[in-house]
Structure 1
Amino acid sequence: MSLMLSKKEHTQIPDQTFPINIFHIHYPEPHIIPLHWHEHLEWIIIANGSFRVQVGSTFQDLVKGDLVFVNTKQIHSAFPKSRDSELYAIVFNDSLIRNLGLDNTEKKYILPLLSKDRDIPSYFKANSPESLLIKECLMNVMRDYFDKPFGYELLVKARLLESIGYIFQKAGDTSLQKQNQEKGSIDPVLVHLSHSSHEPLSIKQAASMCCLSPNYFCSLFKKATGKTLTEYMNMLRIHEAEHLLRTRKYTVQQVAFMVGYTNLTYFGRVFKKLKNATPSEYFKNN
């Protein structure tokens, strides 16, 4: 059996000559962005409710109006904290903002952004000056993308560039840089779990991946994610179990083994704790 665990995502881009797509994540459709990465850039707009969002090794609880920027090849996820939670994800290729002409914007801004030479913030709280300006850009991007008036491609491209400009105005926040540097030490484990959460992983093994002592690793991991290593792995595994059960291709026992549980009773207990239903109940009702 092949696992469809979250890792590199092959994002659906309808028009490769204008590489952008917008996704509306909401109930009753699965309104989770599983842990993954892709080669595009992404803006996330929290439209309602609240989400626990991860970008790289940083985590934030975000609410309506908050924004998230995801750079190329950054692992990220968003887990809803209530049923009414919804978000929009604007995913676009860097070719939309690249400029191979003679002006200096490519070298001064775009290349440092894509190569991660600048410490770019990921989270923009709803009422900050930058967020208000960026959100106006992104709302206009969505309107023009869906309505497609003549010339909309130019407007979408211009507004994406404008949103990137506001990012650079915020990029000098040194307190955020220090926070990201400290939390970055658990990155090897987060990357590993993005494609191998079904495999056993002890605290000792995880700490060794990060060249840390087990106690210090546990402290950093809890501080960054808000969860213990076991809780975090369970969250990833149960999300994948939810996806597999919805396909209706596998039995509950098969799903448990596929996502990494050898004890069916323990799998059922963890699943019910996170989903408020047993795996069998979920299988019957979805």
Structure 2
Amino acid sequence: MTDFQLNAQLQELTKHHTVTLPVACYETTIQANVHGYIPLHWHEELQWIVVLQGEAQFQVNEEYMTVSKGEGLFINQAQLHGAKDDAKNPCIYRCLNVSPLFIMSNELYAAYVQPYLQANSYMRLTKSTSWSNQVLAHLQAIYTLLETKHPLFEFDLTIHLTQLWKEMIIGFQQGIALRQPIQNERMKQMLQWIHTHYAETIILENIAQAGQLSRSECCRYFKRILHTTPLQYVTDYRIRKSLTYLQQYNVTEVAYEVGFNSTSYYIEKFKERMGQTPLAYKKSIASKDEMEA
């Protein structure tokens, strides 16, 4: 995947299923993404990640962790997450996204799936513990099944998925840590408001009101979770939105389209963020399209 299409609530719009299975598997090269990193997003599906090359720093809500080749990460339902890597050690990882409703039958779902959707926001997967080592093995088996698709492979896939979830429950039970739904939802509300109103004039109080917070508490949320200020996030988001518009319009039109009140200020901030001017970026994309054509 090279782009993550998100709605105003930061929910990923990718359909994580095939025609017959509520399961999706794909590989991602972080630096091939249009932004050069994986932006914060969330989805209703459970997600398992295994790093195939290099390493990356993943963010899940307020926490950051480095995951290296051979290691993995489980991200629970509806958790804000994203990833970055180092140009010197680029990361490629494989994802498995599965609907929670597909994990077990309706009769067992309430007892063996639902309680754990409110448990750990994420879990590291390494070969240092028996349960996580087994999870990694089942993930590899599932990836192979989805690639080969031999006759009746769906039966084998569901068997491995059930066994994988059994091991996950063992891991959950070794260290349940209830997530903080109120903080998570308030952050989503503020980001949703920004993503809806980014082209308008925005002041700090607007963002704070969206999360039902004071201005100082709003700043603390952004500093703690995103390591930036609310208004700096607005600027960065406007620049990210402008990348698509630059393929269709001139620089001045794009600047005003995404909420900057002057072309020069847009160019200044774009160069700070992207390391080149908007015009240079626009030309590089056009040149790339011509070569691919």
Task: State the TM-score, normalizing by the size of structure 1.
Answer: 0.77
What amino acid does structure 2 have at the position aligned with 1:239? Answer: R
Q: Which residue is 2:115 aligned to?
A: 112
Equivalent positions of 1:144-183 (< 5 A) are: 144-171=145-172, 176-177=177-178, 180=180, 183=183
Q: Which residue is 2:13 aligned to?
A: 10
User: Are the equivalent residues in 1 in contact too, given 2:125–2:133 (CA < 8 A)?
Assistant: no
**CA deviation map 1:100-121 (0-9, x unaligned):** 35xxx312122334xx4x2233
Assess, with a 3 A threshold, how the Cα gap between structure 1 residues 232 and 50 changes in structure 2: closer, same or farther. farther
Q: Which residue is 2:269 aligned to?
A: 270
Assess, with a 3 A threshold, how the Cα gap between structure 1 residues 125 and 40 changes in structure 2: closer, same or farther. closer
For residue 58 of structure 2, the aligned residue among 48, 53, 56 is 53
Equivalent positions of 1:58-207 (< 5 A) are: 58-65=62-69, 66-82=71-87, 84-101=90-107, 105-113=108-116, 116=117, 118-124=118-124, 126=126, 129=129, 130-171=131-172, 176-177=177-178, 180=180, 183-184=183-184, 186-193=187-194, 195-207=196-208
User: Are the equivalent residues in 2 in contact too, given 1:40–1:72 (CA < 8 A)?
Assistant: yes
| Secondary structure of the structure 2 residue equivalent to 1:177 | coil
- CA distance in 1 between counterparts of 2:155 and 2:81 reads 29
User: Are the equivalent residues in 2 in contact too, given 1:46–1:62 (CA < 8 A)?
Assistant: no
> What 5-or-longer segments of structure 1 have no aligned partner?
none
> What 5-or-longer segments of structure 2 have no aligned partner?
286-293
- CA distance in 1 between counterparts of 2:50 and 2:42 reads 18
Q: Once the 2 structures are TM-superposed, how far is the Cα of residue 279 of structure 1 from its aligned partner? A: 1.3
User: Are the equivalent residues in 2 in contact too, given 1:52–1:61 (CA < 8 A)?
Assistant: yes
- CA distance in 2 between counterparts of 1:122 and 1:132 reads 16
What amino acid does structure 2 have at the position aligned with 1:82? Answer: A
- CA distance in 2 between counterparts of 1:216 and 1:164 reads 38
Q: Once the 2 structures are TM-superposed, how far is the Cα of residue 195 of structure 1 from its aligned partner? A: 4.8
- CA distance in 2 between counterparts of 1:67 and 1:238 reads 31
Q: Once the 2 structures are TM-superposed, how far is the Cα of residue 95 of structure 1 from its aligned partner? A: 4.1
What amino acid does structure 1 have at the position aligned with 2:220? Answer: S
- Paired positions, count: 273
Q: Which residue is 1:214 aligned to?
A: 215
**CA deviation map 1:157-200 (0-9, x unaligned):** 2333333333333435778437x468535343234345554454
User: Are the equivalent residues in 2 in contact too, given 1:25–1:32 (CA < 8 A)?
Assistant: no
| Secondary structure of the structure 2 residue equivalent to 1:249 | coil
- CA distance in 2 between counterparts of 1:241 and 1:49 reads 30
Q: Once the 2 structures are TM-superposed, how far is the Cα of residue 284 of structure 1 from its aligned partner? A: 0.7
What amino acid does structure 2 have at the position aligned with 1:168? Answer: I
What amino acid does structure 1 have at the position aligned with 2:105? Answer: N
User: Are the equivalent residues in 2 in contact too, given 1:42–1:91 (CA < 8 A)?
Assistant: yes
User: Are the equivalent residues in 2 in contact too, given 1:48–1:86 (CA < 8 A)?
Assistant: yes
Task: State the TM-score, normalizing by the size of structure 2.
Answer: 0.75
Percent of pairs with identical residues:
22
What amino acid does structure 2 have at the position aligned with 1:163? Answer: L
| Secondary structure of the structure 1 residue equivalent to 2:276 | coil
- CA distance in 1 between counterparts of 2:140 and 2:233 reads 33
| Secondary structure of the structure 1 residue equivalent to 2:228 | coil
| Secondary structure of the structure 2 residue equivalent to 1:53 | strand
What amino acid does structure 2 have at the position aligned with 1:120? Answer: N
| Secondary structure of the structure 1 residue equivalent to 2:106 | coil
Assess, with a 3 A threshold, how the Cα gap between structure 1 residues 222 and 14 changes in structure 2: closer, same or farther. closer
Q: CA RMSD in A?
A: 3.3
Assess, with a 3 A threshold, how the Cα gap between structure 1 residues 233 and 134 changes in structure 2: closer, same or farther. farther
- CA distance in 2 between counterparts of 1:90 and 1:260 reads 36
Assess, with a 3 A threshold, how the Cα gap between structure 1 residues 19 and 224 changes in structure 2: closer, same or farther. same
- CA distance in 1 between counterparts of 2:194 and 2:155 reads 39
